[in-house]
């Protein structure tokens, strides 16, 4: 059975994102994952800029990325994600699949925390807004 996701973003690899090894540089996947999270937030009705205007600064506390198969210039991929609330943390599970062969290229678990005045807060406002878009 296929894995289910709350949100999917299509991304096409740009040539400048590849390095001398001819494949997407590792750090750029982190850009893709951030881009997908921010697009998801917009889709869910709370764009990143709006969250910051509420006085909440979401920050990444930890990221784990597994690199399974490299992407090349011009290839299209799908970045698919689920968001869960775990204690005061918002955790994003993100997978990138190459569109050509459906292969899983990269997986990430991104743990984020909301700060207010530099201190971690529970983020109930954000959770309230995300509501149905949070996975159990």
- Single out the residue of 1, 2, 3, 15 in contact with a copy of itself (rule: CB under 8 A): 15
Extended beta strands in 22-75, E state: 57-67
- Single out the residue of 10, 26, 122, 124 in contact with a copy of itself (rule: CB under 8 A): 26
Q: Is 35 in the site for a copy of itself (CB under 8 A)?
A: yes
C-alpha dist (Å) from residue 110 to 64, 76, 93, 100, 126: 7, 22, 6, 26, 17
Instruction: Return phi, psi of residue 113, to 5°.
Output: -135, 145
Is the CB of 28 or the CB of 135 nearer to a copy of itself? 28
Q: Binding string to a copy of itself for residues 58 to 97, with x set by CB under 8 A, is what?
A: -xxxxxxxxx--x--xx-----------------------
Distance between CA 124 and CA 71 in Å, rounded? 37
Distance between CA 73 and CA 54 in Å, rounded? 38
Q: Is 21 in the site for a copy of itself (CB under 8 A)?
A: yes
Q: Is 25 in the site for a copy of itself (CB under 8 A)?
A: yes
- Single out the residue of 1, 2, 4, 20 in contact with a copy of itself (rule: CB under 8 A): 20
C-alpha dist (Å) from residue 68 to 29, 95, 102: 12, 11, 13
Q: Of 38, 135, 30, which is closest to residue 91 (Cα–Cα)?
A: 135
Interface ranges with a copy of itself (CB under 8 A): 14-16, 18-22, 25-28, 30-31, 34-35, 38, 42, 47-49, 52, 57, 59-67, 70, 73-74
């Amino acid at each position: 059975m296929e894995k289910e996701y709350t949100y999917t973003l299509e991304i096409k690899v740009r040539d400048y994102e590849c390095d001398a090894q001819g494949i997407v540089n590792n750090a750029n996947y982190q850009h893709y994952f951030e881009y997908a999270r921010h697009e998801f937030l917009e889709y869910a009705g709370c764009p990143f800029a709006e969250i910051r205007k509420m006085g909440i600064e979401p920050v990444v506390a930890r990221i784990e990325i597994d690199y399974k198969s490299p992407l090349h210039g011009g290839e299209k991929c799908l970045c698919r994600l689920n968001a869960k609330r775990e204690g005061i943390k918002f955790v994003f599970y993100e997978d990138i699949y190459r569109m050509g062969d459906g292969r899983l290229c990269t997986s990430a678990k991104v743990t984020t925390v909301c700060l207010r005045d530099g201190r971690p807060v529970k983020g109930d406002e954000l959770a309230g807004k995300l509501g149905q878009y949070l996975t159990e």
